[in-house]
Chains A and B, each alone.
Chain A
């Protein structure tokens, strides 16, 4: 008789140390050239305005940036998520021009940001797959 297989159960209370945010910047005037350094500087200044020098002293990274669409992926520690998110929400102007940050997705796992049901498009590929 075989021994009943032992199994272990792992329970992760908080599996990820980071949170990832997919954001996009919407400006009033559409054609603007913003580099990734300027983008990050804008976010840092927003956090500093809201929380001050000490409040803004948590690290976050801009992992990806698309200068044409002005979208990016940020990575921040769990402790700094609320501060960063609220700073992005309350940021209202970029160089005296009205702007808005649209937070598309927030997830503790980077993989979740790769698929987004908001950008899902049913096109010819789906029809081809059904025919097969």
Chain B
């Protein structure tokens, strides 16, 4: 059985609050959480924040209820894109384990599905969807292994955003037929988190099938993680590692021509 994951916990500067949220998540049964750094590039050159080191948060990570291993915490970046120039995959993006984009226009949604190098595409929850989903880009995204994400914290906070969340989610499920969907919290406080089986039940409200609803919290989240890991590799087969420095002394004894060829084994 796949483990449960919550891939959207909004980052806050208050470390204590973040600690409480992660402790609650571990208590509820989530094996992995991702701290989400949301960036909305309004000015021309906005800095991408550096993800803080995870070991700063906890000395000893809280143990997931029901298992004996501690909770795993990842870093995730979300770019709120209202213009094509906002999304520029630079080296800063590589510091994050997951990259997500929140497209605000139809053109950007199409571009994000077909060309952008992201793992997750976020669906609007706090406002009415400004554009309709078309089957072509959605199927293109599914082929590329990109997942669509719905957050449920807005549905808990306010009744108006609840309507938008459910309406947008149902719209998405109709077009994508329940494939490649993840549901995450988007929680800013620990009381906005819900247990994984509660969310699987919420998937039924979003007109997912029972199997898809549970997969949205478990299997699909794991697929997103793997997609994020392979983003730094060549087709997921080869990945690069920094080679440890060989001591210079040994190389000086023999001239270069007589050096044994150790590189090609």
Contacts and interface: CB of A to CB of B under 8 A. Distances in A.
Interface of A: 26, 28, 49-50, 82, 85-86, 88-92, 98-100, 102-103, 106, 117-118
B136 interface: no
Interface stretch (B55-63, B104-112, B187-195): B187-195
Given A82-B204, A118-B65, A92 B192 contact: yes
B228 to A, nearest CB: 28
B202 A89 contact: yes
Tell me the interface secondary structure of chain B in the complex.
Answer: helix
B210 to A, nearest CB: 10
Given A90-B156, A92-B157, A118-B65, A100 B201 contact: no
B198 interface: yes
A85 B200 CA distance: 10
A49 to B, nearest CB: 6
Given A85-B198, A98-B189, A102-B195, A92 B205 contact: no
Contacts of A89: 152, 194, 198-199, 201-202
Given A90-B162, A92-B192, A118 B66 contact: yes
B159 interface: yes
List 7 tightest A-B contacts by C-beta distance, closest first: A92-B156, A89-B198, A100-B191, A85-B201, A98-B191, A86-B205, A89-B194
B39 interface: no
A46 to B, nearest CB: 11
B201 A86 contact: yes
Interface residues of B, number: 22
Nearest to A85: B201
A54 B66 CA distance: 39
12 contacts: A26-B191, A50-B162, A86-B202, A89-B198, A90-B156, A92-B157, A92-B192, A98-B192, A99-B191, A100-B192, A103-B198, A106-B197
Nearest to B157: A92
A48 B66 CA distance: 34
Given A85-B198, A102-B195, 4 more contacts: A85-B201, A90-B152, A90-B202, A92-B192
A100 B204 contact: no
A120 to B, nearest CB: 11
Nearest to A117: B66
Interface in B115-168: 152, 155-157, 159, 162
A72 B189 CA distance: 24
A82 B191 contact: no
Interface in B48-75: 65-66
Contacts of B202: 86, 89-90
Contacts of B157: 92
Contacts of A106: 197
A99 B155 CA distance: 14
A82 B195 contact: no
A26 B198 CA distance: 15
